[in-house]
Structure 1
Amino acid sequence: MPGDTPVVPAVIVGAGACGLTSAIRLREASIDCLLLERDAVPGGSTALSSGFIPAAETRLQRAFGIQDSKSLFAEDVMKKSHGQAAPHLVQAYMHGVTGAIDTIERLGVKFHILDGFLYPGHRARRMHTTPERTGAALMACLERTAVAQGADVLVESVVRELWLDENDRVLGVGYASPDGTMAYVACEVLILACNGFGGNAAMVRELLPAMADAVFGGHIGNDGSAIAWGKALDAQMADLGGYQGHGSWITPQGALMTWAVMMEGGVQINARGERFHNENLGYSEAATEVLAQPGAIAWNVFDEPVLTLARTFPDYVEAEKAGALRMAEDVLALAALIGCDVATLQGTLNGMAAGVTDSFGRTFKRSLQKPYYAVKVTGALFHTQGGLDIDAECRVLRKDGSPFPNLLAAGGAARGVSGNEVWGYLSGNGLLSAVGGGWVAGATAAAQIQG
């Protein structure tokens, strides 16, 4: 590296939820760190999400008397992935995310726990959110906290080069400044908290063919940089077939619609007036189900009580303001809206009586009542869940299984805890990996620097 290169104990590539959480953990240990962020305002995939962080045994859960445990949460993650999730990361992130939530709350961020419903696969109320219930609000809180604790964030700085010596020890990075010139910074530890590859069309087509023509609802900065660096370093990759899809991408408005609508009685109906899957299994695998329907679209159909719930989510409120919601007084009007046969649609609705378990395995609590409400949706890719293989301390692994000396990764840059398939994604796994993984990576970096 250039001889006059400044030195920082820890450099973090990416100031999303993962990078900021790592920075908070490092500053808790009084270690200086620099976050290099490609955008003018830190946001990433988290800012586009609902901002719900799953965590068990937090102070807030105990305060509300919620019966939950890290072991129960871990069981839910493993069950959803059919046992494919990396057990060592599941255990590491269970502990990491709880430590992160409790610390960030202690530092002044106010959290709530979602009430009134459970996301698919969760057996306890464990979704922690800021009062605004948006990913953008969560990001703003994390950035304020990290900066207040003394972390340095350098925006519009795109990392282009990783510098390592002959023993695979990271020396530092080179990054493009806003004016296009290259700048360099040396470090004792490097944390890759940057991105997945959902925004790289060529990689998606190669690794996730089912999503090749799907809408990408994630952050454009997810260009696969971490994987490219890993390949150049001959690092091990894992779970590259894992991703978070979403079967409720509002079209043409372009926004995620909360899956709480499905959990509380809503259904998805295709252009033929038929349901086509068990909506209670999860929104990730619903993406491929919706894309397989005529025109690759479906209608989210629900009634007044569910609409009231949907309107508690700011992202949905904005979509409704943009014209996403349609209302039908009766089955005839709903069939006209969908463009399907009335008798077929009536038969579909008749099969949703209270207590009935349908052919897809869903048991209904009640029937939908007119008037009906509908939102047109398609399937989308939100973010990927595979990447650099890492150990329980978030150290990047070589192909022989040994760790690089001082190269760490978490969040979108690394493998997650969703296994290798779309159906392995448990609601909140993205932020579990980002916040839990970011906390673990920060702790590992602190130990290496202090040691």
Structure 2
Amino acid sequence: MNQPVIQRAERMDAAVHVPVAIVGAGACGLTAALMLHDAGVECVLLERDATPSGSTALSSGFIPAAGTRVQQALGIEDSPQRFAADIQAKANGTAAPHLVTAYTQAIGPAVDALQARHGLDFVLLDDFLYPGHSTHRMHAVPEKTGAALMARLQQAATAADVSIVTRALVRELWLNPRDEVIGIGYERPDGALEYLACDALILACNGFGGNASMVRELLPEMRDATYAGHSGNDGSAIAWGRAIGARLADLGGYQGHGSWAVPQGALITWALMMEGAVQINAPGRRFHDETQGYSEAAVQVLAQPGGVAWNVFDETLLTFARGFPDFREAEAAGAVKRCADEPALAGLIGCDASALRATLAAVSPGAAAPDGRVFTRALQAPFYAVKVTGALFHTQGGLDIDAHCRVLREDASPFNNLLAAGGAARGVSGHAVWGYLSGNGLLSAIAGGFIAAQTAKTILET
């Protein structure tokens, strides 16, 4: 882990100065930088990797937003209030109310600004609903991948002449005696430390999913799970927060995924489940209501024999899934297996044929399973199957922040000029895996980056 180093001084006279420094050039940091550019505020992004990617590049790249111009053009009625209600319904009312309100109100203007002012072309995914969303609000760039979203954000930053320093691993936070951030120290590839003074600092860096010891401490149910997130999520923000007396919140919240193809190591879209696919375990039976959500499905799958399950679907759903680039890549890698009939599928899974037959017979239009799922269609031979496990993708807890993304002390008072958003801060998924509503990660990243930029500008003006 990037060990926290806190330096104390009255000022950093010898360092290069910038009004706003941003740690992390993922979706959160890039959004903040672009909004600061629009406000005429100079900033510098510090990115540990040679090329910015982070959790965003590994995601599906789908951004939930309410009241956007894209929705309005399609005649879809939505509102921040409706979106907020969906978030709290999924989290059983445990998501931080002030952040739910702030993020659902900010994400629409943020998406519109990225499109109108920075050329990001968003499309709306209106052919299916992800679990927990009451209307179509998932926005994506046309390529429908997280990597493409990151590429377009970087292109926008380049066009705006935003300063990004790559291969810059931030090691030190510098604070004055009044607990105000005065700068940072970052390590270059040759091991040398360089310094940057600033008037405000935005931590847009990471969660802690890639820190095995923190996962064992804070997420024990996922201690043995595959980690499918970015290695840069090493818990630095939490470590810094602990070192300076910042409050932490929702550390038990995270995004899991119950559809990580093995051994290929590829994400299989959960849209399959929402359109009629099922998950079947080694004994040949379904074991949960797949439509409740892919995050909690990670725990369900890991609890099955061998910690694996099979996603089972048919030709119609295969055609649907091929509309997602990530699925096509997984198929090309050999993740999708074709079975001509039920006996062949039973042979692939290694289960009793009669048990599998009973499972598939129960999947019929209008049938209600004991777990509560109501099926809308049957599955027809030939069948297709993908072997999957449960994985940890990214954490949803972190530095506690107010509605302006200001980091809070243990006594709930805010640091004057230290901000956090995205993976570095608590999200809006409550304190457990089941609270994650599809897209909450990018909601926190982009809405949080948008708000943090506004707050940083206000700090500079006071």
AA at the equivalent of 1:102: D
Specify which of 248, 254, 262 is matched with residue 243 of structure 1. 254
AA at the equivalent of 1:99: P
Query: Matched residues in 2 for 1:76 and 1:392: separation?
Result: 19
Structure 1 residue 99 displacement after superposition: 1.4
**What does 1:182-193 correspond to in 2, within 5 Å?**
182-193=193-204
Q: Does 1:38 align with 2:48?
A: yes
Q: Residue 5 of structure 2 corresponds to which residue in structure 1?
A: none
Question: With structure 1 as the length reference, what TM-score do the two structures score?
Answer: 0.99
Equivalent pair of 2:258/2:299 in contact (CA under 8 Å)? yes
AA at the equivalent of 1:96: A
Q: Residue 423 of structure 2 corresponds to which residue in structure 1?
A: 412
Specify which of 134, 138, 142 is matched with residue 123 of structure 1. 134
Q: Which 5+ residue runs of structure 2 have no aligned equivalent?
A: 1-10
AA at the equivalent of 2:409: R
Deviations 1:377-435 (A, max 9, x none): 00000000000000000000000010000000000000000000000000000000000
AA at the equivalent of 1:51: G
Q: Residue 112 of structure 1 corresponds to which residue in structure 2?
A: 123
Equivalent pair of 1:245/1:284 in contact (CA under 8 Å)? yes
Equivalent pair of 1:9/1:449 in contact (CA under 8 Å)? yes
Question: With structure 2 as the length reference, what TM-score do the two structures score?
Answer: 0.97
Equivalent pair of 1:24/1:149 in contact (CA under 8 Å)? yes
Specify which of 157, 175, 180 is matched with residue 186 of structure 2. 175
Specify which of 143, 147, 159 is matched with residue 158 of structure 2. 147
AA at the equivalent of 2:181: V
Equivalent pair of 2:49/2:168 in contact (CA under 8 Å)? yes
Equivalent pair of 2:398/2:424 in contact (CA under 8 Å)? yes
Deviations 1:223-273 (A, max 9, x none): 000000000001000000000000000000001110000000000000000
Structure 1 residue 356 displacement after superposition: 0.7
Structure 1 residue 25 displacement after superposition: 1.0
Structure 1 residue 147 displacement after superposition: 2.7
Structure 1 residue 146 displacement after superposition: 2.1
Structure 1 residue 109 displacement after superposition: 1.1
Q: Which 5+ residue runs of structure 1 have no aligned equivalent?
A: none
Query: Matched residues in 2 for 1:364 and 1:179: separation?
Result: 58
Equivalent pair of 2:12/2:183 in contact (CA under 8 Å)? no
Closer/same/farther in 2, CA of residues 2 and 188 from structure 1, 3 Å limit: closer
Aligned residues: 451
Q: Residue 440 of structure 2 corresponds to which residue in structure 1?
A: 429
Specify which of 255, 258, 279 is matched with residue 266 of structure 2. 255
Identical aligned residues as a percent: 63
Equivalent pair of 1:32/1:150 in contact (CA under 8 Å)? no
Q: Does 1:320 align with 2:345?
A: no
Query: Matched residues in 1 for 2:363 and 2:148: separation?
Result: 37
Structure 1 residue 449 displacement after superposition: 1.1
Equivalent pair of 2:174/2:184 in contact (CA under 8 Å)? yes
Specify which of 52, 55, 59 is matched with residue 49 of structure 1. 59
Q: Does 1:102 align with 2:112?
A: yes
Query: Matched residues in 2 for 1:117 and 1:3: separation?
Result: 56
**What does 1:14-413 correspond to in 2, within 5 Å?**
14-106=24-116, 107-413=118-424
Query: Matched residues in 1 for 2:12 and 2:97: separation?
Result: 41
Query: Matched residues in 2 for 1:39 and 1:426: separation?
Result: 29
Query: Matched residues in 2 for 1:142 and 1:92: separation?
Result: 22
Secondary structure of 2:389's counterpart equals strand
Query: Matched residues in 1 for 2:17 and 2:44: separation?
Result: 10
Query: Matched residues in 2 for 1:151 and 1:78: separation?
Result: 36
Deviations 1:309-342 (A, max 9, x none): 1111111111111111111111111100100000
Query: Matched residues in 2 for 1:301 and 1:56: separation?
Result: 33
After TM superposition, the runs of 4+ consecutive aligned structure 1 residues lying more than 6 A away are: none
